[in-house]
Structures are given as structure tokens and as C-alpha cells.
Chain A
Amino acid sequence: MKILVGYKRVVDYNVRIQVKPDSSGVVTEGVKLSPNPFDEIALEEALRLREKGIASEVVVATIAPADAQAHLRNGLAMGANRAIHVVTDEVVQPLTAARILLKLIEKEQPGLVLLGKQAIDDDANQTGQMLAALWDRPQATFASEIVVDGQVARVTREVDAGLETIEIDLPAVVTTDLRLNEPRFIKLPDIMKAKSKPLETIALADLGVEAAAGLTASHYAAPAKRSKGVMVKDVAELVAALKAKGLV
């Protein structure tokens, strides 16, 4: 079985996000970019399934500008067999991303597609579900455990009520939650090895994907700030303050 992994490049989770003075977006120039943490978990899971002999090949794919090659080499260094880079300078919204990934599915015929449950830039949490709908295949979102048994996968999902387990026929789309695994660290020899692994680039225009009408972002603003409160010296003072506000 082949596994296709979505591997997006995003602003690193430690960066303090600043809104541009002209409100046209957030500052991304000169900030650290990293693989989306949920996608690293997706890739790690794919690698583990390969190590267990369930998968034979792991392909990482990204949709990004031309300068994202190093990002894909990172995925190859982690252990993916091959990489596909769909090159575009446009910011691609989830529905279009799903259409692009569907094209890659038609080309690659994977038995399983693993994506992060959300990318930590737009926080949309849509692409996996949209892809599954367009592909007309099962989806298992927010996965914290994946057990593959032949043509079926049992996936435990982190839901508001607790842990839900569903059974899905393969091929299918699974999106990862934080507790699925802990991604491995990349070792130096792996970085060297990754240099010779196949990395295919495809111009988005050559894929024949119709861009979906998307949302138009007109204005970015910093969130309403909570004002800094007061420090109380002890429990008695805290309780008095809460009582004064009618909270206890």
C-alpha cells in the first residue's frame, strides 16, 4: 500500500504573529517557517505504518511556492520515499487544495491519505474532509490511533465527548490529532540521504485543476487585548477580589 501525506509549510508555532500595519495580512517576511506540526505527525504515522510492513511507500506532497524545496527535503529526511511539489505562488484555500490533492490521488492511487487535522496558519480544519467528499471515500478526522487490518482501518478519534472509534474501508482520508504519535528527530545522515531521493515538481497550471471560488480576506486585525490585571499577595486577597466581583 502506498500512503500519500499532505505536508504543508507554515509559520513556525513559536513565532509571535504580527498583523501588518496596513491590515492586509500578517507579517510573514523573515519569520521562521516550519512543517505544520499536524503534518509532521501524519508523516510520522505513515513511516511507522511502513516500518510495520503495512505500507510499502510514503509520498509527501506540498502545494507551495518554488522556494519550498528545502521543506520537502525535510520530509524526505524524516523518511518519505518520494516528494511531490505542486508549485504555485498563490495562497491556495482548502477547497482548491482538496481538488489538487485529488489529482495527486488519481495519479498515485494511494491506499491511505494522511493529512494534519488543521494547518496552524489558517486554522481552517477543512482540507481532509473536503478531499474525502470529492473523492467519495471515508474520512476519519482527529485521529489518535490508527490500526490498519487489510482493507479496513480502525481509527480512534478525539471528539468533544471523549474517544470515538470508527471503522473505515480503504482507501480513505485520515487526519491527525496531536496525540497520534511523537514525530522523530531528523539525523544528519538522513539529511544527506534525502538529497538523492526523487522530488517531482509540477506547476499547478499543468495539473488541470479549476481553482474554486474562495473567501476574500479584506482586513486583518490584532485580537482584542485583555488588559493586564493585578497581582494579589495571598489567597485571602484573591478570595476577597472574587467576592467583590460576585464570582464566588
Chain B
Amino acid sequence: MSKILIVAEHLNGQLNASTAKCVTAAGKLSPEAIDILVLAADAAGIAAQAAQIAGVSRVLTVERAENAQSLSAVLAPQVAKAAAGYSHVFGPSTTFGKDLMPRVAALLGVPQVSDLMEVVDAQTFKRPVYAGNAIVTVSAPAGAIVATVRTASFPAAAEGGGASVEALSLDVALPTHTRFVELKAGKSDRPDLQTASRVVSGGRALGSADSFRIIYSLADKLGAGVGASRAAVDAGYVPNDMQVGQTGKIIAPELYIAIGISGAIQHLTGIKDAGTIVAINKDAEAPIFEIADFGLVGDLFTLVPELEAALG
């Protein structure tokens, strides 16, 4: 029987929704136990949130001043130590998990399954390669199985659990060669791009940071999160954390509206699991229309304000 340890992702005392998605993925193995590991300077509040996720057996906390920031060089030896006795160690396929989990796998001397999107059995999983243009079924060798979970492939586990919270003391020396300086977080009152049920994205066609305002305005009308293509980020219209795609965020909103985005493979990888895709583009031949559920050809600078007005 499997015993699964999930590394909790959190920021400013808030548990990230990716953790509950990892719990759903873990549940697919019908494991004997799913435990969540919270590494923090002050773990109580985060642990309380984790304990509410249905299906979780125990929440294990490691409180150390060094855990105030998520530095993988500091966290990895602790996760590797805590992994003893577990058949699987999961983290989310977010920048947090992508940075941390391979370091854990290397310390354990095992390979990693990146972007786990489907559980076949306890050793066998599906994952995307080539920007999602092929799906490969892989089996892990004997030993602990370390994986990052593609969060867009799994809904968040429900609340209503009542896991016990236990403090863990790990005897591990931590390095001082890696130090946190600062985090410049894009402040936004809008729904989080990774969990929003509706997302409006803009591309290169917007032409400037200033023009991007019509995207925000439409998004606000819909209560949507805002995303962008790489071209729009590279051009400086919006910050990097808004990039959707192979090398940005992989998202699965119920509604995705792509505006002035051509639909390059690398962008489409990020939205394949969206419920309904709407595309607005002046080029009727744009590849985005190949995968859009609803396509509208025309000039975005006319159509977007019109759409916003039509939404009442």
C-alpha cells in the first residue's frame, strides 16, 4: 500500500490551492495514508488550513527560522529526511515545486516524474512532453517515487477533513549558502490566474501596457483573472507572472478568452484543459481558431469594448 507525503506550498501564511490538488492526485492511488508536510517559520495557521483538506491523514510541521522563505537548498534536505517510510513524495508543478522536488529526488537518488497528469497505478503515470504534443506513460523504478503534480489536471480536494497536526523535529544541518533577498509580487485584487474560473488573456496585438487596460476592464466585468502570451510579457505590457503556456502557467479555467493571441503551440499547451475557449483575432487563419470553441474575427480594439458593453 502507498503512503504519500505532500509538500505544502504556502506564502504569507496562506496555503496555496496547489496543495489540495496534489491531495486529489494522491487519492487516485487509493493510498493507506496521505500526509502533508508544512515547512515554515510559523506553521500553525498553515497547518490548520492543510488539516481541513478532505482525505488527509496527518499534517506534519517543521518549524525553523530558516524555513521563513521557500529556499529549495534549505527545504530539500528536510523533505528528503521526512520522506523516510513514504512510498511517494508529491509536490505541485508550480515554480515552488519545480524548484524544490528535483533537488529532493537527487538527494534520495531517484528520478522524478515531472508534471504528473494522470495516475495509471502506484508506479505508472502519464505526463506531457514536447510542450504537451505527446503524452508519455512512464513507470518509476523501485524506491521512493518523487513527482510534481500538474495542477491543471486535478481539481482541488474538498474541505471538511479533520487531520491531526503533529510537530516533527528533523535533525538536519541546513546550508547558509543561499539567502532570500526579496519578493516583488504583482499586487492584484483580481482572481488568481491559476485558480480563476474565468480568465481573459491578451497578446502582442495589444501593442502597449496602456492598451492592455481594455483586457483588465473586460476581465473585471467578468470577475476574471488576467493572463497574457509570452510576446505580451516580453514586450513589457504585463509582468512575467501573467504568462500562460509551456513556460508560464498551465491553467484550466471554465472560460478562457484569448484576445489578439495567435495560438502558438507553446501558448496552447497552457490552456488545453480549459472548459470553453473563446478567441478574438483579426486573422481568420490564426491557429487559435483551430482549438477555440467560439471564434470571432475582427479588430480587438472595436470588439473588446463592444463585448464588455454587451455583458451589461
**A interface residues, Cβ below 8 angstroms from B:** 11, 13, 16-17, 19, 26, 93-95, 98, 117-118, 120-134, 136-142, 144, 154, 157-169, 172, 177-179, 212-224, 226, 228-232, 234-236, 238-239, 241-242, 245, 247-248
Contact B230 A178 (CB under 8 A): yes
Q: In terms of DSSP, what is the predominant structure of the interface of chain B? A: mixed
Residue B272 is within 8 A (CB to CB) of chain A in the complex: yes
CA–CA, A139 and B76, complex, Å: 11
Q: Which of A218, A228, A238 has the most CB of B within 10 A?
A: A238
- Chain A residues with CB below 8 A from B143, complex form: 213
Contact A26 B130 (CB under 8 A): yes
CA–CA, A241 and B181, complex, Å: 49
- Interface readout for B97-139 with A: 1 if CB under 8 Å, 0 if not? 0111111111101111111000000001000111111111111
Contact A139 B276 (CB under 8 A): no
CA–CA, A230 and B180, complex, Å: 49
- Chain A residues with CB below 8 A from B95, complex form: 141-142, 157-160
CA–CA, A218 and B135, complex, Å: 11
Residue B241 is within 8 A (CB to CB) of chain A in the complex: yes
Residue B194 is within 8 A (CB to CB) of chain A in the complex: yes
Contact B135 A220 (CB under 8 A): yes
Not counting A229-B292, A232-B294, a sample of 8 additional A-B residue pairs whose C-beta atoms are within 8 angstroms of each other reads A16-B265, A17-B131, A132-B73, A141-B99, A179-B234, A213-B111, A222-B135, A231-B296
With A133-B76, A229-B294, A236-B310 known as contacts, the answer to whether A218 contacts B138 (CB < 8 A) is yes
Contact B255 A242 (CB under 8 A): yes
CA–CA, A149 and B247, complex, Å: 29
**A-B interface, 10 closest residue pairs, ranked by CB to CB distance from nearest:** A229-B293, A133-B106, A129-B102, A130-B106, A17-B133, A126-B102, A213-B141, A165-B181, A162-B185, A215-B138
- Chain B residues with CB below 8 A from A160, complex form: 94-96, 194, 241, 249
CA–CA, A93 and B230, complex, Å: 28
CA–CA, A131 and B272, complex, Å: 32
CB distance from A32 to the nearest CB of B (A): 14
Contact A166 B230 (CB under 8 A): no
Contact B135 A238 (CB under 8 A): no
24 contacts across the A-B interface (CB closer than 8 A): A127-B102, A134-B106, A138-B178, A139-B103, A144-B240, A154-B181, A158-B95, A158-B241, A160-B194, A161-B186, A163-B241, A166-B180, A168-B178, A169-B178, A212-B109, A213-B110, A216-B139, A217-B137, A229-B295, A231-B284, A231-B297, A235-B303, A242-B294, A248-B311
The residue on A at minimum CB distance from B289 is A231
CB distance from B130 to the nearest CB of A (A): 4
CA–CA, A131 and B278, complex, Å: 42
CA–CA, A232 and B133, complex, Å: 28
- Chain B residues with CB below 8 A from A217, complex form: 136-138
Residue B64 is within 8 A (CB to CB) of chain A in the complex: no
With A133-B76, A247-B255 known as contacts, the answer to whether A161 contacts B294 (CB < 8 A) is no
Residue B65 is within 8 A (CB to CB) of chain A in the complex: no
With A17-B130, A120-B130, A248-B222 known as contacts, the answer to whether A130 contacts B105 (CB < 8 A) is yes
Contact B135 A221 (CB under 8 A): yes
- Chain A residues with CB below 8 A from B181, complex form: 154, 165-167
With A164-B183, A165-B181, A169-B177 known as contacts, the answer to whether A125 contacts B139 (CB < 8 A) is no
Residue B82 is within 8 A (CB to CB) of chain A in the complex: no
- Chain B residues with CB below 8 A from A172, complex form: 177
The residue on B at minimum CB distance from A182 is B234
The A-contacting residues of B in range 76-97, CB under 8 angstroms, are 76, 94-96
- Chain B residues with CB below 8 A from A164, complex form: 180, 182-184
- Chain B residues with CB below 8 A from A134, complex form: 106
- Chain B residues with CB below 8 A from A220, complex form: 134-137
* Contact among B131, B137, B185, B272 for A219, CB-based, below 8 A: B137
The residue on B at minimum CB distance from A118 is B247
Contact B247 A177 (CB under 8 A): yes
* Contact among A158, A223, A228 for B135, CB-based, below 8 A: A223
Residue B290 is within 8 A (CB to CB) of chain A in the complex: yes
Residue B190 is within 8 A (CB to CB) of chain A in the complex: no
CA–CA, A125 and B135, complex, Å: 16
Contact A138 B73 (CB under 8 A): yes
CA–CA, A120 and B247, complex, Å: 9
Residue B140 is within 8 A (CB to CB) of chain A in the complex: yes
